[in-house]
Structure 1
Amino acid sequence: MRSALIAEPSLPVSTALRKFLESADYEVSIVSTLDEALRDVHARSPSVLLASQSASLDGEALCRQVKAEVPELPVLLLYLPEEEHPEPRAAGAGADAFLVGPLKRTTVVTCVGLLLQLFQARAAAQAVPAAEAEAPNRRSDTAGSPDFEFLKRLLLMEVKRSRRYRYPIALVLLELDRLAEHLAPLSPPRRTAVLAEVLALLTEAMRDIDVTVPLTEGRFVSFMPHTAKDGAMMVAERLRQRVKTLAPLPELTLSLGLAVFEPASARGQTQVSFGNLMRDASEALRKAQAAGGDRVVFSERGPQPPGEAPQEG
């Protein structure tokens, strides 16, 4: 189980943070001093550390010491709303990301989840041979992350329900256009914060029953149950427009590949499965990017070849 250590002396703030993370299935521990935090880092080996920078706790000093002793531990610094220069301060402390209050549940949960996935991807990249790691166009794949595995299990279950109860489901793959170019001028903590803002923005633009998780840096997948083609296209277009409102990167755009299964009109079509939904959405995304990006492409599933057995989810 993923675990989080919160170093925060304010009881109301630490309680809110605990609720945020526990609602996302994290095991949470709270400490209020630097010494307690260092002790728990070594004793509990948390998955991530959230450290507050305030008059009562020097989160930056804690971050420096943690990075010196346990460099593989992701550290998220939390600043008060009045902090005017969080980016250089977080970078100077060696933090992996930072957030500035007031803190919202979606932003905290997505930033923490993204940090863990980025660290997982880095560890995976270091585990492969150097020649393979340096291969052209190599992507950091986080498809084995807890968030993606949760989405996969959910989608497999919903695919079966969709076939049985005949309701539509939609899957959309989203990728930020020219991400490396946009992120190049930013420090590593700021890059992580921006990606967390993007994920929070996408999540807030969707319904409570929809699920959005990051796949790789800058690529996300959203699942929308009970959503037919027209509704899914409207949501995808809204997401495409919403990304353009991101203040730190006003020129950022988004490409989207959409796949939909509608049982009511599926006669003569290949049966839906998790695999073919992902393949269809991936192909549609490639077409959107090949056409210049900043667009939504819908995948049309053709008729099932004679004699071919339906695919199971």
Structure 2
Amino acid sequence: MTSASPLLDAPIGVFDSGVGGMSVLRHIQAQLPHENLIYLADTGYAPYGAKPEHVVAERSLAIAQFLVGQGAKALVVACNTATVAAIKLLRAHYPNLPLVGVEPGLKPAAAASRNGQVAVLATDVTLAGAKFLLLRDQVSNASGAKFLLQGCPGLVDQIELGECDSGATRVMLEGYLLPLLAKGVDTVVLGCTHYPFVRASIESILAKAGRHDVVLIDTGDAVARQLARLLASNACLRPESGTPATLKAFTTASGTALSAAFSSLLGLVPVVKELRIEKDLAIPDAH
């Protein structure tokens, strides 16, 4: 089979404030196994959920500029907070580039709910965003579902530390989940790309509470499907070839830590390089 053209061979850029976007990356790899990928974790500036929206937007644009400079043929904003803050800005800057953001799965949650009581776990910035609130109102009006919004301060930090199933993380999750269960929710949206990594802990809490009926909604699969559709419509899907797909990674913090996260969360060992982002410019470190 012949080698892909330069455009088809170009990588897909995926970024997040840290390791959370790996929950989206694994769906992309599963659905598009022949695509070359670049993952960028802005861990040195995490969590985004505690930052002003305009700051997150500026950093997202700087990261996008770096990924495009690396030859990215498409971008995935694998972060709910960055999508809320920056997706409109990114689309204005790159109108001809396939670009996919992440939105909490309110529509599938409303469809899955039997009693119309849906909890949304997310960062405070996501839950306060005008884009999210408009979507909530639209879905609520169309479906009759009631969305109970629960900010989860500290949870992203625990996941970034690798504390996905620790006692402290479980206590934190119980504090967020149990009051929602008491209000009768039967569906829970994991409204941050970090949160699928604590899914096992959430399921354990639900089981202990006798709530095996609660449905958890993770939108990573939908993001990968949308990416595949955009690549196909732009005629830039990479075909199967004799050259295996590659995965490169960048981080604004410790490369060793990101490598360890890839290994523990996805069982992968990509090449990881450290990066600095100063104002609106992303600069690879010399080493």
For the criterion TM > 0.5, the same-fold answer is: no
- Report which structure shows greater RCO (CA 8 Å, sep ≥6): 2
Structure number, greater radius of gyration: 1
- TM value normalised by structure 2: 0.28
- TM value normalised by structure 1: 0.26
